[in-house]
Amino acid sequence: MSSAANTPSPAADDHGTRKPLSVVPRRAPRRSRLSTVVMCALALAAALVGILLLNIQITQGQYQLTELTGQERALSQENEALTQDIEADSAPQNLAARANDLGMVPAKEVGSIDLGSGAVTPPSAPAEKTESQNILVPPAEMKGSDAAEANRRAAEERAEKRAKEEADKKTAQREAEQKADEARDLNGGSLPAPSQRAPGN
């Protein structure tokens, strides 16, 4: 015990002349056995707590890793979905269809400017408003993209509108024909006079 070595021994001068009696110096307080145990326990507890903290740290890290991985995945998925949307919107047929919706028409006479002479060849003219082009390349049936879905719906709406317009046109034509028929001079009768067959028909 190291604590004992530091304590002056009362029996040091046993063999010499007897010293007069004196008050035994108060024994230096020896560290109690209890404190050692406490120390040990504390050390142990500290170690345990240390390990526990370390463990918690690692586990925490693990959870954080999982969370961050999840976050990364979510972001890359969002990125993927957005990329898909961009690609759906920038597909040539969808661009062309939207340009049509905005009232744009394909340029008919494109001229080039000669930078030297300033001449435009061939002679160019502003595009004229024509009937909107019927885009015959259908939009992609891409899954999992809202933009692709929207483009598809827009194409369907356009097709419906076109069909309706055509039907309207036909009806108008028929009505016009009917009117022309009615306007024909029937000489008071209800049936048109038989027309003569033209030669060659």
Selected range binding other proteins among 20-28, 89-97, 173-181, 183-191, rule: CB under 8 A: 89-97
Which residue's entry shows tokens 């110096």?
25
Q: How far apart are CA 56 and CA 50, in angstroms?
A: 10
Selected range binding other proteins among 9-17, 35-43, 106-114, 190-198, rule: CB under 8 A: 106-114
Interface pick for other proteins out of 96, 104, 150, 154 (rule CB under 8 A): 96
111 lies in the binding site for other proteins (CB under 8 A): yes
Q: How far apart are CA 41 and CA 35, in angstroms?
A: 10
Q: Whole-angstrom distance between the N-terminal and C-terminal Cα of the chain?
A: 138
**CB contact at 8 A, 84 and 144:** yes
Binding mask 69-88 for other proteins (x = CB under 8 A): ----xx-xx--xx-xx--xx
In the complex with other proteins, which residue's Cβ is closer, 9 or 130? 130
Nearest C-alpha neighbor of 135 from the set 157, 150, 119, 113: 157
Structure tokens belonging to residue 63:
């959870």
| Beta-carbon contacts of residue 78 (< 8 Å; ≥ 6 apart) | none
Q: How many residues at the interface with other proteins, by CB under 8 A? A: 41
In the complex with other proteins, which residue's Cβ is closer, 28 or 51? 51
Selected range binding other proteins among 19-27, 29-37, 136-144, 172-180, rule: CB under 8 A: 136-144
**CB contact at 8 A, 127 and 105:** yes
**Which residues form the interface with other proteins (CB under 8 A)?**
58-59, 61-63, 66, 73-74, 76-77, 80-81, 83-84, 87-88, 90-93, 96, 109-112, 121-122, 133-145, 148
